[in-house]
A and B are shown apart, each in its own frame.
Chain A
């Protein structure tokens, strides 16, 4: 049974079992390695991708549930104005340390800024609550959001 997913603006035919969680399809079949598999339980946020413009976790939901929806991975974010702005802000503030959670964070921040152009710190923290970072990059990420949103 084949499946077609729209990923980063392109329709991609998928050979994996439709029940395979999306992140495995992205990483193993499509070789889009930017989305990380962290916990596999939707508890860490490292697998976040944009789905119809909003951040969603991809490590549990079967790939088939994303059919007909517009998926943007971290690889495709640079094609968007918000994505470029967020990536530049992360670089400026050294918001990546080990980098494992960074792709998910960039996706989540891009989703946040698409909904709220100028989130305050509390809104930013709430939006990033599903995302774990064990390096302690949190203050840098919050600073990146301020820069990307033009608050500083």
Chain B
């Protein structure tokens, strides 16, 4: 399951963009101390948020 938190904040997001960035594919699999990333992970949710996804 992939949740995109930014969708909640920015309705102009193009969800197709999320699959295109190689760097993001790498970073989404990085173990990170970020508590929010780990909160989502513990619930089995992968959050995919990147700057180019922000509308406006």
Contacts and interface: CB of A to CB of B under 8 A. Distances in A.
Given A125-B52, A128-B51, A138-B51, A98 B35 contact: yes
B5 A44 contact: no
Given A43-B27, A128-B51, A129-B51, A136 B32 contact: no
A interface, over-half SS: loop
Measured as residues with beta carbon below 8 angstroms from the partner, the interface class of chain A is 20 to 34
Contact of B49 (A38, A39, A138): A138
A134 to B, nearest CB: 4
Given A39-B32, A46-B34, A142-B56, A136 B27 contact: no
B33 interface: yes
Interface of B: 5-6, 8-10, 23, 26-27, 30-37, 40, 47, 49-54, 56
Interface string A31-60: 000001111010110100000000000000
B5 A135 contact: yes
Given A39-B30, A136-B5, A139-B56, A100 B36 contact: yes
A101 interface: yes
